[in-house]
Structure 1
Amino acid sequence: MTDPNTSATTTTSTATGKGFELSALVSTGGPRIKLSTFTVTCTATHTQTNANWTFGGMSGLTNPPNPVPASYVSPIKKPDGTALANAVFNIQNLPGDGSVGLTMLRIDFLPASGISGQVTLGHTSCSPTP
């Protein structure tokens, strides 16, 4: 695609989803996490990159502040306060060469959950176009 204002080539990378549900923490007394929609977009021209994300219909997680700071952490807890996982929003990878990587949400399981690993939701990246 060509931007009529710059005659430069624009590329876009997009990750979208709908109906996401994570029930892994329910058996340990944690919440069922749902997002009805999400979109993560990265757009690049010859001179710049830009990445952003949106979501809708989230439950089971505390809404992050607006604007969301980079790598914002929100604990996912049982009703008794035990942290089972961390929801990390707005993870940015800026290597310094003009490219950008953006992850909307990563859920890192903590030892109290009895689950290892992580779940990544909505990731994209792009680099300036030649």
Structure 2
Amino acid sequence: MKLRRTLGAACLSALGMALMTVPAHAAPGDATAADYLSVPAQAAPGDAIAAGHAGTTKVGQVTVPSIAPCSTEGRMQATKSETTVADVVTYSNNKSVCTIDGVGEIATVTVTGGRYRFDALIPYGGPRIRLASFTARCETTLTGSRSTLQFTGLSGIQVPSRIPKNYVVTIPGGPGGKPKATVTFNEVITPSPPNGSMTVHLMHIRMFPAGGPTTGDSYVGTVFCSPVS
């Protein structure tokens, strides 16, 4: 029996550690993520599940729905050449592939993308945030699930050479000393109690998270895995 799950799990503490590291001789703005492993305390019944999409954005009244979504419970592969909302966001050359083995035990999802550009902060004096390319992957194991991430060509903000899970960059300059935006890399979301499943966002931009002239969220590289039990 397949148990349907959504990508929007509640954000709680994750087991283990995952570090995004800049490889030797990498260009500035390039990074990768070491394996993140989620181990179940009590797995839910059903086949393994994997799902993902290249991203989604909502800024004010503008909504960009999930781009190139795939799922082992539905469409197994999707592509989208470009999605653009002027002065807000651009996603280019996106693809997602979901797979599951014949006995329903090992499920994988791989999401890739080309150029990503977020322009919605510019009218408020913020930076244009760009990626040249990205890959997000999640796969189940017989005892849990794990994820790996990488990206190239980050500009507009800077990250250190080693980036742990849920690493947040704060962009100052909002009203009353509040942040103009936060950018979370390797955002890992797991349920409580843990069941081995997890949702991972390669990057998540929040506009004026503590209040301001508008609100907005932009996600890049979202993957979800839930193991068999």
User: Structure 2: how far apart are the matches of 1:108 and 1:65?
Assistant: 22
1:11 aligned partner = 107
Match of 2:195 in 1: 97
Task: Classify the secondary structure of the residue corresponding to 2:180.
Answer: strand
Supply the distance in 2 between the matched residues of 1:38 and 1:77 (Cα, whole angstroms).
Answer: 26
- TM-score, normalization by structure 2: 0.48
The CA RMSD measured in Å over matched residues stands at 2.4
Query: Which residue, 55, 73, 89 being the options, matches 2:168?
Result: 73
Q: Letter of the 1:44 partner, please give it.
A: T
- The change in CA–CA distance for 1:52 and 1:17 in structure 2 (over 3 A counts) is same
CA deviation digits over 1:9-30, x for unaligned, max 9? 4321122211100111112221
Q: 2:184 aligns with which of 70, 73, 88?
A: 88
Report the Cα distance in structure 2 between the residues aligned to 1:107 and 1:29, rounded to whole angstroms.
16
Aligned-partner Cα distance in 1 for 2:201–2:152:
16
Task: Report 1 or 2 for greater relative contact order, CA contacts < 8 Å, sequence distance ≥ 6.
Answer: 2
Question: Which blocks of at least 5 consecutive residues in structure 2 are unaligned?
Answer: 1-99
CA distance in 2, matches of 1:121, 1:115: 20
Aligned 8 A contact 2:105 2:227 in 1: no
TM-score, with length taken from structure 1 = 0.80
* Unaligned ranges ≥5, structure 1: 3-7
Does the CA contact (< 8 Å) of 1:64 and 1:74 recur in 2? no
Q: Which residue of 2 aligns with 1:5?
A: none
* Greater strand content: 1
In structure 1, C-alpha distance between the alignment counterparts of 2:158 and 2:181, rounded to whole Å = 13
Q: Is the 8 A contact 1:70 1:89 kept in 2?
A: yes
Partner of 2:17: none
Of 56, 62, 80, the residue aligned with 2:152 is: 56
Q: How many residues align?
A: 122
Matched, 1:122 2:221: yes
